[in-house]
Amino acid sequence: DGDYDSLVSKHNGTFFVDPRGDLSNTSSTLSPILQQLRDESDWDGLVGTKPSSQMFKSGLEDSDILLYCGHGTAEEFFSREKLSCMSNKSGKKCATTLLMGCSSGKLQEYGEFEPAGVVWSYILAGSNSVVCCLWDVTDKDIDRYTLKLVKDWIVDENPNTSYLAEGVADARDVCKLRYLVGAAPICYGVPTKVSKS
């Protein structure tokens, strides 16, 4: 274990799955494990319902882990500007965030300036790690991927995936399009592990 590892509680999380209500396969694939997290831990969230901006902010501030499974970067629910206002001023950390939407980790180039994307807003707001997709993905494959990541890293605490980055790499094997969809998710941030407490 490294000196700079970040620990998050597996028992404290929030999820927003299929907020637009048009990813029925995502909802049905993830619902059983989300129910398990609700039953066994202090997880809460919404499936098939749009979160308010305040709900999203509360999920980021009050949870150790936030899971978003929907379209894009979730900016329609919580913008970069709102993230920048969080900027760790209150001393609260922003949740470790799993943004499982198309191109959620894509950085835009701005000529001679550094590339930028919503992922940097999460890091600057105090998130120790952000998992996001570099390009567009298919919903069924990314659902399988997300299920494997959540199951191994959070629910079962697989010893081979104790670090989030290990879980990100290991979950690629369940994708049918392993080098297209499986290679899209990456992890920004510092080494992050789940604690049992």
Q: Which of 94, 102, 132, 187 is catalytic?
A: 102
**Residue written as token pair 């701005």:** 110
Question: What does the buried/exposed string (b/e) look like for 17-37 if buried means 16 or more CB atoms within 10 Å of the residue's CB?
Answer: bbbeeebeebbebbeebbeeb
Residue 183 half-sphere exposure, CB side, CA atoms within 13 Å?
A: 4
Three-state SS annotation for 28-87: HHHHHHHHHHHHHCEEEEEECCCCCHHHHHHHHHHCCEEEEECCCCCCCCCCHHHHHHHC
Least Cα distance to 166 among 154, 177, 178, 175 occurs for: 154
Is residue 103 within 8 Å of 72, Cβ to Cβ?
yes
Distance CA 132, CA 144 (A): 15
Whether 102 is catalytic: yes
List the structure tokens of 54: 């305040």
**Residues involved in catalysis:** 102
